[in-house]
Amino acid sequence: MGGPTIQLTETDREALWAHLLESTRGTEEVAFLFARYEGATGRAFRVFDWYAVPPEGFAFCSAWHFELSDQTRGFVIKRAHDLGACMIEVHSHDDPDPPAFSPSDLYGFREFVPHVWWRLKGRPYGALVVSPGGLDGLVWRQGPDAPERVAGVEVEGTVRRASHLSALRWTTEMEEYSDG
C-alpha cells in the first residue's frame, strides 16, 4: 500500500466531504484535521477533531486557489499545539478526474510546512486534496522538505486509496524550482 493512512470515522468523513464537496460557493473549501500519529502501531494518523474553515477565514478564495487569513493560520496552529496533535490540511478541487495538488498548492507547501513543522516542534504535517474523482495526499513525517505519499483515507477498516499523482508532481516541481 505504501505510506500512512488518514483514519476517520464514517460520521466525520461524511461531514468533512459535505463541507468540501457540496459547497455552493464555487470556491475551494478547506478544513484542518487534528490527529495522533500512530507510527509504531500501524503507520496511521488517527483523526480525533477537525475544523471547517468558514468563508471569513480566507484572505482570498477562488475556484483555483485559496489563501488563509493570518487569524485562521494562527488559530489552527495554536489548536494543534494545544491538543498536542499533528495537523492535516484538507482542501477540495472541483475536477472529476483523480486529484493531485496543483503547482500553487505545492508552492504554498514550500512556505507553510516548514513554519508549521517549527511551530509544532517537529510533529508530522499532512495535506489531502479531495475531489469528486477521488483523493490524494502527502505527509511530512521526517522533515519539512521530505514529503511522502499518503496511502489513502481509512474509514472503519476500508481504505479509499490515494491517486499518488502528487508525489510525482512534487518531485518535478522541486526539480524545476531548484533549476530556476
Long-range contacts, 157-165 (Cβ 8 Å, 24+): 159/1, 159/5, 160/134, 160/135, 161/1, 161/134, 162/3, 162/134, 162/135, 162/136, 162/137, 163/98, 163/99, 163/100, 163/134, 163/135, 163/136, 164/2, 164/136, 165/98, 165/99, 165/100, 165/136
In CATH, what number is assigned to the domain containing residue 161? 3.40.140.10
- pLDDT at res. 2: 76
For the cut 60, the answer to whether the pLDDT of residue 5 exceeds it is yes
Of all residues in the chain, what percent carry a pLDDT higher than 70?
Answer: 92
- pLDDT at res. 25: 84
Q: Determine the distance from the C-alpha atom of residue 11 to the mean position of all C-alpha atoms in its chain, rounded to a whole number.
A: 19
- pLDDT at res. 180: 52
Q: pLDDT, tens digit, for every residue of 118-157? A: 999 999 999 999 999 999 999 999 999 889 999 999 999 9
Q: pLDDT, tens digit, for every residue of 52-79? A: 999 999 999 988 889 999 999 999 999 9
For the cut 70, the answer to whether the pLDDT of residue 165 exceeds it is yes
Give 41 or 174, the one with higher predicted confidence: 41
- pLDDT at res. 134: 95
User: What is the total count of domains within the chain?
Assistant: 1
Banded model confidence at residue 171, pLDDT cuts 50, 70, 90: low
Contact 147, 109 (CB under 8 A): yes
* Domain encompassing residue 47: 5-179
pTM given for the model: 0.92
Relative orientation angle of helices 165-179 and 103-119, to the nearest 10 degrees: 90
List CB contacts of 23: < 8 A, sequence separation 6 or more: 29, 92
- pLDDT at res. 143: 92
Residue 180 CA to residue 176 CA, distance in Å, equals 6
